[in-house]
Amino acid sequence: MRRLDRCLVTHPLNPPELIPLVEVVPEGRTSPASMQRAVEYLRSLGRFPIVLKKSIPGYVVGRVSAAVWRECIDLVVQGVISVDDLDRAVSLGPAIGWAAAGPHLTYHLAAGEGGIRGFTQHLLASFESWWQQLAHWAQLDPDQQRTLIQSIEKAYKGKVEFLREARDRRLSAILRALEQARGPSGSESG
């Protein structure tokens, strides 16, 4: 490639026709002008680009998803909760808050006027004790894989197309609601 200053990565999320977020990642010699052009182009397509400051395996969204999913898998494999109840717990719990504000802003707002400083003063010790108990494994053994697959197939057997269509309708409704809640400029501040 002759123009390394134009080399960058754009990483959409699935399903890309519905999820507007796109991760934009500079490569070794990517110029700021190329990054800006890519971001502007993606915005012109109705996408919401986020700029990673450097390349990282799995990108940002994949890594956050992998961390959350590992804990979800662990809770199912340990017999703490069923697959469908866990999916319900995440989609009707933190996922709703995160769709509206993201994890950092969610916790910043949780303490009221005290913000994240107040939140950490009151709840960080609890989170730290939970972090020590989170799953630490890096791969599933064959028995865990079997348990996970059987649990998911049992919960959702024979319903994949129906569930995909239902998910897509919910995603579209969530995105419409988020768009309506934004200010006229498209920002959160209105």
Nearest to 14 by CA among 171, 178, 147, 175: 171
How many angstroms separate the CA atoms of 159 and 155, rounded? 9
Strand segments, DSSP code E, in 27-124 are 48-51
> Active-site residue numbers?
23
DSSP 101-134: HHHHHHHHHHTGGGHHHHHHHHHHHHHHHHHHHS
How many angstroms separate the CA atoms of 38 and 32, rounded? 10
Which residue in this structure is represented by tokens 């501040």?
189
Residues 6+ apart with CB under 8 A from 149: none
